[in-house]
Structure 1
Amino acid sequence: MSRVRSGAAVAVWGCLLGALWLSGCVEPGATPPPEDLASSRAAEGFSRQGTVMAGRNHTLTLRADGTVWAWGGNTFGQLGDGTTTAKSSPTRIRGPLGMSAIGVGELHSLALKADGTVWTWGDNTRGQLGDGTTTRRAWPQRVPGLTNVVRIAGGFSHSLALKADGTVWAWGLNATGQLGDGTTSQRLAPTQVQGLINVVAIAAGNAHSLALTADGAVWTWGGNADGQLGTGDTLNRSLPVAVAGLTGVTALSGGGSHSVVLKSDGTVWAWGQNTYGQLGDGTTGQRLTPTQVPGLWDVEAVVGGGQHSVALRVDGSVWTWGNNQRGQLGDGSLTQRLAPMRVTGVSLVKGVTAGGGQHTVVVKADGTVLAWGSNADGQVGDGTTFQAFVPTRTAGWRQRTDVSTGDAHTVVVKADGTVWAWGENYLGQLGAAGRPGRATPGQVPGLSEVLAVASGRDHTVALTLEGSVWTWGGTFEGPGGPAARDGLRTPTRITSLSNVVMVGAGMHHSVALKDDGTVWAWSINPLWFPGAPPSSFVLAPTQVSGLTGVIAVSGGGYNFFALKADGTLWAWGTNPHGNIGDGTLDDAALPVRVLGLTEVMDFSSGLTHSAALKADGTVWTWGENSDGQLGDGTQVNRLSPVQVQGLTEGIRLSAGFADSFVLKSNGTVESWGFNGSGQLGDGTFVTRSVPAPLTGFTGTVSLSAGLHHVAAVKGDGSVWTWGLNQSGQLGTGTFVDSASPVRVW
């Protein structure tokens, strides 16, 4: 059974009204802007945080619908999609909807929800996620106890939050005093920055922090080896200090080891490291106090990257200067620039960001995202890893192709948001009218903008980008026998569900996770609802009591599973073989904790066995083991998790009928368990109780195990299947079983 399942520059964003000010714009070097334009900018207050942010090697963007998308490097889970696999095109993070702002550090990410809560994910070596631990997270988790936040910022390995009351809170690395609490002690949870009130904006550099107060003054603290604090010296500060002589500031940004600010008159001022000309003053000399960037007027937003800077003018044009070793200035060359130069071919821009790892990203007024510079990890987002010397359009807003398998059918959601299915259809599993199945892919009608799918025994659940849930297939049966021995032939929306971020499917049951962390479950067959007595019919989504703070869900053979933000796994349902993992054989009508498991990143449940993947890449299994599906070298059932020996570097897993599969960080797959139909994919039909690799099968990004067949997707979007094929579930146009992967498309 299956389920569905980003250095430290901080961008400051331009006003969407910029295009309306076109008549008042002037070229750099011309007369300064008229007073009415300056007044308009001052009335605006300060530039809003925008819709795209760049880290060292990853990029985040916030869409108008409140969803966050990410691409680029993902070694520490900074893309928030539940994996540690790099993505060269946008993929939606796994987590809450309704986000209002985003932030990035070197290898971690932040998001601010409209309700004032902060969510973080990625690297946590220095406590930069603020959850009280140093455990990395591959998807967003709420920062405990932090509320009423209005702005966020990420530094190299620290994070900042501005609350509605004007106070600033910080956590993470503090070796140079960048947390502003008067110490150099690392903090794993938010601590208040001392001596600051009436703050209206915040920013962070590699090892320093900045704040803007309502009177237009700038305060800095932290590392100062290159003069990035603007205090006239190179002494670190563990408490905020005002930058002398700097007034009328409306926006600010921390670069790698330099700082840049925007004044209400549209001028830009900078200080700190200048080795690469990132201060834009025509020299490479260090500046210990603010210096105006000459020849640059009418600026609406400015941002400092690792070693370069970017400015957005009110006419929508973009200007860059500084280091250009990776083409991050976008002028088609690798030539360092000591003064601002306009990026040609780019206009009507509403937001800019500069990465700490030498790339630049902009958002146009129509929502188009353009990027250029370093692209080794796919941070440009154009579907490649080729360096971009000029502005390049980011790929479409879709996740990569993904797959889910039922008993005898296979469902794929393509990168364009359409859904395709093949195999058995006697109960409408393919979402199409009529009973005949098919042995080749066919599109499921009436569905678009689909983000993910999950298949049970003979039904499928789909989740759309807007958070709605659709379902089809299945057998409806009441306590007195068949009430309607048929299923839904076409996708039907569950109108009572909205704001859903994840779905799962089991034997005859389904589960949905809402963006508020609540779990909702239902069954298409009331006789098979896990944990419920025969007299209890749950035909409509019902909230699971006692579960909050959940970040992922799954429906197994006869179970439900839920992963909480603290890394613990919870289960409920029938438990004949210990498949719940609580150390007993007792059924559970309410969620119970799976014993001994912490730092869980992924999980899956087969018919009567279960598996979990921990943050360290190890795999743990429990339940029935008659076919060696637990992978511990025995056929002994386990009532609580045991480690699969010799298996590390796992990033995703899937449990089938009596077999198990793990996708490793290098794109290879290992499998074990029952192999009567060749479902282990190793070219044999030999059952085994220890993991072994699928020789020669590489580049895998996702996989799903069904009853006796498996489907996988490679990084190039190709779909592969193997195992039983009596109903055409392999999608190859034949009904011949295959003990090795065969390509569908």
Structure 2
Amino acid sequence: MKKFNRRVAYMLVTILLAVNCTVLGSVGAAEAVKSDSRPTPVSVAGGSGHGVAAWSDGSVTAWGYNKSGQVGDGTSIHQLVPKQVAGLTDIVQVAAGDNSSFALDKNGDVWAWGDYYSPYINGDPLLPFQKRGGLIKLEGLKDVAGLAISNHGSVALHKDGSATIWNPTFDPNDHLKMTVKYFPIKGVTNAKTIVVAGHEALILGKDGSVDMLTVYNSFYDRFRLEREFREVKPLVASSITGIAAHWYDVFLLHENGTVLRWNVNTKQQAPAVVKGLNDIQEIRTGSNRLFMLKNDGTVWQWNYNDPKAKPFRVKGLAGITALWGSKGYTGYATNQDGKVLAWGEEKYQGSGSANENDGNPVMVQPPLSWTVNGQTVSFYGSSAVVKGKLYVPYTSVFEALGIRVKRGQSNPDPKHGNHRFPVWSFSYGGNTVSIKSSDPAVVLVNGKVTREDASVPFLANSSMFPLELITSKLGIPMSWNKTTGEVILGKTP
């Protein structure tokens, strides 16, 4: 029947392109084809304060907290809007530690950046105190099929079902010299997924079984040597389809849609079923949070370390096709339109949205590309999206546009206790836009006060300026495609 339906669809394709069919609704066929051509997310992961995503075109984007270089842009500047990570192609999975990022390519090679992997670089003329090293290839990992990141040792699952643990170490005589140690996990074969909880590696087999192996020697405070590994211990015999862990808590997804919980530090003999959880098809963890995707496309969350907390549905998430977790308080989901959504109790790891504090899920912004007078421009500082409008630091596109930026100070303001405020002036073509950084901000065009609603927020360690307002008042053309992220400024060839 499916083959017959495909043949019929193929025969009628010219008709479907000519009419507004019910499948496409009000969207034209040409627009649908264009939409389908955009990259879609294939893997998303979150650290304690940053996010990273792999896309169907093999590219990787990252965003958020960046003090360790975990965004991968070569800086330690926080990035509120995602940036594409240069040097990565054909990526099929991403993963994240607290302050580190990892990418797995289709050849089975693994790349790392961020904490431990991207050291500070001194003496850079543009970024004297904010330059970080770039990506490194983990040479000891080959033919990798999947990654699991943990503070107790990260695990690479190989295509043949075996596994390797790796961890960065530092030379005791040179704390800046980092090396990565690798060793195979003895006794692991035919594994589907592996997670690390506490000192234990939990191995989900392709047959639905779950086994356990101690990988850390707590007596000597180091990972076990290969000769020290003991026999793998069975935990669950069969019927498990998914596994997730955070610190010492382990969650198992049963094939019947229920969830089991187990803690490696307790004397609990076997995982126990969590009451009230049914019809679950996917599980992920955050910091003391369990995220669950149900069969009906809704997402549920359980803050399990609170004894009074009960699982609740995350409002605003429907039609979800994939679920992703983090090391922090943020969850990620992919909807049927191929968009990445974020939610959590804190800032959603720099998703680039001004709605992060209202409790509702937000769409993670696409990376922005900048063209000024027909030339591609890039800059280190972060851009931002505030109340649906685009903001940039002064060290961004203004110089490329030929705009002169000057910082001054206002006269004492009696409405604000005679306080003096910074005044930023942007001059171009004989016109000047000035913004007094009071609350609310005051906008002047050629010295005359306007009624413009504006602000100069301090974000990512920089004052941010309303780009659309400034360019419009100075007569500079600007367009921003919010779907593709393309920003075009000034004259076009």
- TM-score clears 0.5: yes
Partner AA of 1:617 in structure 2: G
Instruction: Assess if the C-alpha contact under 8 Å between 2:63 and 2:83 holds in 1.
Output: yes
- Richer in helix (by share): 2
Q: Is residue 2:354 matched to residue 1:740? A: no
Using a 3 Å threshold, how does the CA distance of structure 1 residues 658 and 709 change in structure 2: closer, same or farther?
Answer: same
In the other structure, the counterpart of 2:261 is 621
Corresponding residue to 1:705 among 326, 333, 341: 326
Structure 1 residue 601, shift from structure 2 partner: 0.9
In the other structure, the counterpart of 1:515 is 159
1:348-386 deviations in Å (ceiling 9; x for gaps): xxxxxxxxxxxxxxxxxxxxxxxxxxxx9x9xxxx99x9
Structure 1 residue 737, shift from structure 2 partner: 4.4
Structure 1 residue 612, shift from structure 2 partner: 0.9
Partner AA of 2:359 in structure 1: A
In the other structure, the counterpart of 1:427 is 68
In the other structure, the counterpart of 1:468 is 109
Structure 1 residue 497, shift from structure 2 partner: 2.4
Q: 2: distance between equivalents of 1:591 and 1:454?
A: 28
1:137-177 deviations in Å (ceiling 9; x for gaps): xxxxxxxxxxxxxxxxxxxxxxxxxxxxxxxxxxxxxxxxx
In the other structure, the counterpart of 1:654 is 284
Using a 3 Å threshold, how does the CA distance of structure 1 residues 449 and 569 change in structure 2: closer, same or farther?
Answer: same
Q: 1: distance between equivalents of 2:54 and 2:260?
A: 29
Instruction: Assess if the C-alpha contact under 8 Å between 2:152 and 2:197 holds in 1.
Output: no
Q: 1: distance between equivalents of 2:134 and 2:117?
A: 15
Q: 1: distance between equivalents of 2:213 and 2:70?
A: 26
Structure 1 residue 410, shift from structure 2 partner: 0.9
* Structure 1 residue matching 2:147: 3-state secondary structure: strand
Give percent identity, aligned residues only.
Answer: 25
Q: 2: distance between equivalents of 1:624 and 1:690?
A: 22
Q: Is residue 2:245 matched to residue 1:608? A: no
Q: What are structure 2's unaligned runs of at least 5 residues?
A: 15-21, 119-129, 172-177, 218-227, 366-493
* Structure 2 residue matching 1:328: 3-state secondary structure: helix
Partner AA of 1:507 in structure 2: N
Instruction: Assess if the C-alpha contact under 8 Å between 1:672 and 1:687 holds in 2.
Output: no
Q: 2: distance between equivalents of 1:570 and 1:733?
A: 42
Rg larger in structure: 1
Q: Is residue 2:165 matched to residue 1:524? A: no
* Structure 2 residue matching 1:402: 3-state secondary structure: strand
In the other structure, the counterpart of 1:694 is 314
Q: 2: distance between equivalents of 1:404 and 1:663?
A: 16
Q: 2: distance between equivalents of 1:564 and 1:325?
A: 37
* Structure 1 residue matching 2:181: 3-state secondary structure: coil
Instruction: Assess if the C-alpha contact under 8 Å between 1:400 and 1:717 holds in 2.
Output: yes
Q: What are structure 1's unaligned runs of at least 5 residues?
A: 1-6, 8-55, 57-304, 306-323, 334-343, 345-375, 478-485, 528-536, 577-587, 626-635, 676-685
Using a 3 Å threshold, how does the CA distance of structure 1 residues 591 and 696 change in structure 2: closer, same or farther?
Answer: farther
Using a 3 Å threshold, how does the CA distance of structure 1 residues 711 and 730 change in structure 2: closer, same or farther?
Answer: farther
Q: 1: distance between equivalents of 2:201 and 2:232?
A: 11
Q: 1: distance between equivalents of 2:93 and 2:328?
A: 20
In the other structure, the counterpart of 2:188 is 547
Corresponding residue to 1:501 among 123, 145, 148: 145
User: 5 Å matches for 1:308-347?
Assistant: 327-328=7-8, 330-332=10-12
Partner AA of 1:601 in structure 2: T
In the other structure, the counterpart of 1:25 is none
Q: 2: distance between equivalents of 1:325 and 1:429?
A: 47
- TM-score of the superposed pair, with normalisation by structure 1: 0.39
Q: 2: distance between equivalents of 1:418 and 1:492?
A: 16
- TM-score of the superposed pair, with normalisation by structure 2: 0.57
In the other structure, the counterpart of 1:165 is none
Partner AA of 2:159 in structure 1: D
In the other structure, the counterpart of 1:640 is 270
In the other structure, the counterpart of 1:717 is 338
User: 5 Å matches for 1:109-128?
Assistant: none
Q: 1: distance between equivalents of 2:231 and 2:64?
A: 34
Partner AA of 2:8 in structure 1: Q
Instruction: Assess if the C-alpha contact under 8 Å between 1:722 and 1:738 holds in 2.
Output: no
Q: Is residue 2:225 matched to residue 1:595? A: no
Instruction: Assess if the C-alpha contact under 8 Å between 1:568 and 1:597 holds in 2.
Output: yes
Q: 2: distance between equivalents of 1:545 and 1:526?
A: 25
Q: Is residue 2:51 matched to residue 1:410? A: yes
* Structure 1 residue matching 2:135: 3-state secondary structure: strand
* Structure 2 residue matching 1:655: 3-state secondary structure: strand
Instruction: Assess if the C-alpha contact under 8 Å between 1:427 and 1:489 holds in 2.
Output: no
Using a 3 Å threshold, how does the CA distance of structure 1 residues 724 and 393 change in structure 2: closer, same or farther?
Answer: closer
Q: 1: distance between equivalents of 2:311 and 2:48?
A: 23
Using a 3 Å threshold, how does the CA distance of structure 1 residues 713 and 327 change in structure 2: closer, same or farther?
Answer: same
Instruction: Assess if the C-alpha contact under 8 Å between 2:245 and 2:251 holds in 1.
Output: yes
Partner AA of 2:335 in structure 1: K
Q: 1: distance between equivalents of 2:282 and 2:358?
A: 23
Instruction: Assess if the C-alpha contact under 8 Å between 1:709 and 1:723 holds in 2.
Output: yes
Instruction: Assess if the C-alpha contact under 8 Å between 2:193 and 2:243 holds in 1.
Output: no
Q: 2: distance between equivalents of 1:441 and 1:422?
A: 4
Structure 1 residue 424, shift from structure 2 partner: 1.5
Using a 3 Å threshold, how does the CA distance of structure 1 residues 394 and 458 change in structure 2: closer, same or farther?
Answer: closer
Q: Is residue 2:82 matched to residue 1:441? A: yes
Structure 1 residue 596, shift from structure 2 partner: 3.3
Structure 1 residue 460, shift from structure 2 partner: 1.7
Q: 2: distance between equivalents of 1:426 and 1:573?
A: 33
Using a 3 Å threshold, how does the CA distance of structure 1 residues 555 and 699 change in structure 2: closer, same or farther?
Answer: farther
